[in-house]
Amino acid sequence: MIYVINAGSSSVKFSVFTESPLTEVVSGQAALRDTEIVLQAQVFGTPYESTYPAPETEQTAVMSLVHAATVLLTEQVDESPRMIVHRVVHGGTGFVKPIIVSPEIREALEHLVDLAPLHQPVNLAAIDACAGLFPDIPQIACFDTAFHADQSDLETHFALPAELFARGIRKYGFHGLSYSYIVSQFPRFAIPNSARVIICHLGNGASLCAVHEGRSVASTMGFTALEGLPMGTRSGRLDPGVVLHLITQDGWSADEVEHLLYRESGLKGLSGVSADVRTLEQSESAAAQFALDYFAYRINAEMGSLTAILGGIDVVIFTAGIGEHSVSVRKAVGQRLSQWLPIAIDDQKNVAQRDEISADTSQIRVLRIPTDENLNMAQLAEHMI
């Protein structure tokens, strides 16, 4: 069996696969939903659900998700794994393919925590927890940054002195395991390799990726997973002068600025209500509606940038939690795109959550493809072993 642990900033998704062929027999998620931790799973066909209050501090709550996921696996699955596969958000410049985690590799990944402070500690906590439970089982790290490793120098450079690029101050890109899976599905949806595609990974963490010839050409996330679109609690693109002003003029510490940008901004900061799109969609608050409008506004703007880089666009794909499930977000984005692109979303197909939601009149295909990072990681690890 292969265990897969996919630890994110607000949820931990987990799977168990039997081999030859890979078949998912356990799937589940431990997720933060405002003030609660919700644990849901399908264990060999039997549903499992538990809900309990989240710890007071968000970092402690996220670590509790790792604990909940690993405890469920040890209690509900009798057979020990042959390998345990982990999503690790940041691989820096040194990790561009899956690797078995040794103590030396674990230490190297620790040095990248500052580049992904919401994710890397949780990823490493999952590795540590599994090492304690299964000390003799190989653990394999798969990296979110790896899919973007071949982007051009024009895409990966900031307009900073060359010595900073040499020290790793550059654009990396994230959500690569999700994008890699979506690209693997192109043949199933008759998307030719030559197509110019923009994939919209919209979840608590959100980004866009321009793909051509099956490769990442450009993406909205940069040096950290803070760049690009506004997200659940992250600010997204921001004038760096704001950070300088808060530090030099208002006396904020670096820790205070980090907390603001990673944990109190985005949809949560704009709405003052919640980071969860489902909660915002149900809210009658004007601020909640503004947050959703701003989200669609920024997606439209970033789509313009990526379309320019691609030199045109043939296919738009929505994926991840919001992209797969939110009818209203897809509709709002489609309406904005239709003002400058020959694109149209069919309302009935959109509401019905069809795979293809573009209208017959649309010259650009619009698809809704559920991502499966866990299957992608299991395939990568099985191939590697």
pLDDT band at 369 (very low <50, low <70, confident <90, very high): very high
**Domains of the chain by range and CATH?**
2-149 (3.30.420.40), 192-368 (3.30.420.40)
Q: What is the pLDDT of residue 29?
A: 87
Residue range 118-129, pLDDT digits in tens? 788 889 988 988
Q: Kindly tell me if the per-residue pLDDT of 148 is higher than 90.
A: yes
pTM above 0.85, yes or no: yes
Hey, what are 171's tokens? 């654009």
pLDDT tops 90 at residue 348: yes
Give the residue carrying structure tokens 């794994």: 81
pLDDT tens-digit map of 283-314? 999 999 999 999 999 999 999 999 999 999 99
Query: Cα dist. 179→138, 145, 330, 356, 361 in Å?
Result: 26, 10, 18, 18, 27
Tens digits of per-residue pLDDT, 180-219? 999 999 999 999 999 999 999 999 999 999 999 999 999 9
Q: Are 64 and 51 in contact (CB under 8 A)?
A: no
The model's pLDDT over 257-289, given as tens digits with 9 standing for 90+, comes to 999 999 999 999 999 999 999 999 999 999 999
Q: What is the token pair recorded at 10?
A: 């607000």
Q: Tokens 């103590």 sit at which residue?
A: 103
Average pLDDT, integer, range 86-96 = 91
pLDDT band with cut points at 50, 70 and 90 for residue 62? low
Instruction: For tokens 């300088």, name the residue.
Output: 244
Q: Is 167 exposed, middle or buried (0-12, 13-18, 19+ CB in 10 A)?
A: exposed
Those residues with Cβ within 8 angstroms of residue 317's Cβ, 6 or more apart along the chain or in another chain: 182, 197, 198, 199, 200, 366, 367, 368, 369
Helix 176-184 to helix 373-384 angle (10° resolution) is 90
Catalytic residue among 34, 78, 128, 144: 144
What local confidence, expressed as pLDDT, does residue 59 receive? 57
* pLDDT tens-digit readout, 242-264: 999 999 999 999 999 999 999 99
- Give the pLDDT score at 235: 96
pLDDT at position 119: 83
- Measuring CA to CA, how many Å separate 290 from each of 110, 151, 270, 299? 38, 34, 8, 14
Annotated catalytic residue 355: no
Q: Check whether 25 has a pLDDT greater than 80.
A: yes
CA distance 75 to 67: 12
Distances (CA, A) of 367 to 59, 218, 358, 375: 35, 20, 7, 20
- Summarised one tens digit per residue, pLDDT across range 152-172 is 999 999 999 999 999 989 999
